[in-house]
Structure 1
């Protein structure tokens, strides 16, 4: 598969540099530019036609959601992962209406970006193998897989989340305290990336709360605990 061509759109130069270094650590990615303003982003999108854009919301010359709407209005082939400090529900609603692939809250943690990029790569690979659509394939591509007949009254889970494993994670979390993805991975006998996927899912359902803490070497780490 060809490298994913990626554009960073972030007005804070330091944060953009962190994202650039994260991207360098991931395989099969090609950074095709960094834009610090929406005007520069529009030019780079027109010239470079990136596959994926890491997009902030707040810029001195406008709002990143404006760029997202423009991309969709022009039927752009660029997908978007929003990376932002915006925690307003309406911002999330607008992003979802605009068809973002993912929504990541700052401060950005490498493992969360890695998980998003891996899922995006899997998404592209599935699309590349399709010749003709059937409902099963459509369900596998959309965020909430499965059909009513398959799930019945059970919880509908996205691809990559297994019900039995999810129950185990919930059991561990029920003990109380705060959990890192690494801690949970050890309990599950799984990788930190897999554990983070389940923990982030539970944050999305409102069962858990996540906060960023800094370890002894100053590396940011998300820690998860039951929502009060």
Structure 2
């Protein structure tokens, strides 16, 4: 799976170092640069063309929201997760108008960043799997998809579990056989970590069973199959 190329834009060097360490712990994410000023961020965003930017708001040489607006005005393909201490409602409104993918308040914790990046990866997976739009696919991609026909609402899915991805896994397991998380990820076009999260959800939901098997070299592997 192609890694997500990520750029950190943070003027505080200690905080940037913490973010760097967090990013290195994420699966299938490649750090392509760290910018401590907006001027450096503009150059790196243009040259490196990251898929995802972790962006602060307050910089000595300007406001991160200005960079966000510049990216959108230039039709940049980079998506943005705002990581900021700004708690003003107007800052949030400006960020939403600018099309941020997520808005995380400092201090940043690893689990919150991991959740945001996992949701972003699933968002990319859904986009890459679309060939022709139907309304339910659009509703699943956009936050306005909250009607009564929304599968996530009917099932009350937990955070980090998307209805479309879940349906894909159900379709695969319905064929029968046993699946590892890595095999399932390859089948649906997602990471092993993402597939394992959904498979474990289905185990907890009593739809699948899991058992540990040992390969030729004795490495334990958890495999999933329909509950009998």
- Pairwise TM-score range, normalised by the shorter structure: 0.5 to 0.7
Match of 2:120 in 1: 120
Counterpart-to-counterpart distance in 1, 2:149 and 2:14:
47
User: How large is the RMSD of aligned CA atoms in angstroms?
Assistant: 2.3
Q: Does 1:61 align with 2:61?
A: yes
- State the match for 2:8 in structure 1: 8
The 1-side partners of 2:29 and 2:159 are apart by 25
TM-score, structure 1 normalization:
0.66
> Any gaps of 5 or more consecutive residues in structure 1?
163-190, 192-228
Deviation, 1:158, is 9.2
**Long gaps (5+) in structure 2:** 161-196, 198-228
In structure 1, distance between residues paired with 2:156 and 2:54:
22
Q: CA deviation at 1:161?
A: 4.7
Q: Does 1:150 align with 2:149?
A: yes
TM-score by structure 2 length?
0.66
CA deviation profile, 1:113-160 (whole Å, cap 9, x unmatched): 00000000000000000001000000111124243x527xxx899974
Instruction: Say if 1:3 and 1:29, in contact at 8 Å, map to a contact too.
Output: yes
* Cα pair distance change 1:127/1:10, threshold 3 Å: same
Aligned pair count reads 160
Compared CA separation, residues 64 and 157, structure 1 to 2 (3 A): farther
| CA deviation vs aligned residue, 1:163-215 (integer Å, no higher than 9, x gap) | xxxxxxxxxxxxxxxxxxxxxxxxxxxx9xxxxxxxxxxxxxxxxxxxxxxxx
